[in-house]
Amino acid sequence: MEIRAYKNSPYGKIDLYARDGKLIVTAEIKTELIENSAVYQEPFISIDFSGAQILIDSLWECGIRPSEGTGSAGSLAATENHLKDMRAIVSKKLGVDL
């Protein structure tokens, strides 16, 4: 199962499309009022890890980023910049090209 996300610019939304091989997946999502929040709820869809990777990659292409957390894009960029600065300092101090 592949779920892909595409930006729907005129409406400021992200559209999700699902496909299973050559089959296009269509679904109607229904809501149901529950009185007790402890009631077990079945997931409305399950996907494997490769399908999840496809979904997160397509959300990334839509501009969706993690809001917080270690390993986020901002954290990685800061680490890469720091490493670049440290290489420049070492290179200058030792008189070598790194």
Instruction: With cut-offs at 50, 70 and 90, classify the pLDDT of residue 9.
Output: confident
Closest CA to 62 of 19, 7, 25, 11: 7
Q: How far apart are CA 26 and CA 82, in angstroms?
A: 47
pLDDT in tens, 59-97: 999 988 877 655 566 678 888 889 999 999 999 888 887
Are both 79 and 95 inside the same structural domain?
yes
pLDDT in tens, 12-53: 899 999 888 888 888 888 888 888 878 787 888 888 999 999
Are both 57 and 20 inside the same structural domain?
yes
Distances (CA, A) of 32 to 26, 29, 35, 36, 37: 20, 10, 10, 12, 12
Give me the domain span that covers residue 53: 2-64
- The total number of residues shown for the chain amounts to 98
Instruction: Count up the domains in the chain and report the number.
Output: 2
Are both 27 and 51 inside the same structural domain?
yes
Are both 25 and 41 inside the same structural domain?
yes
pTM for this structure?
0.57
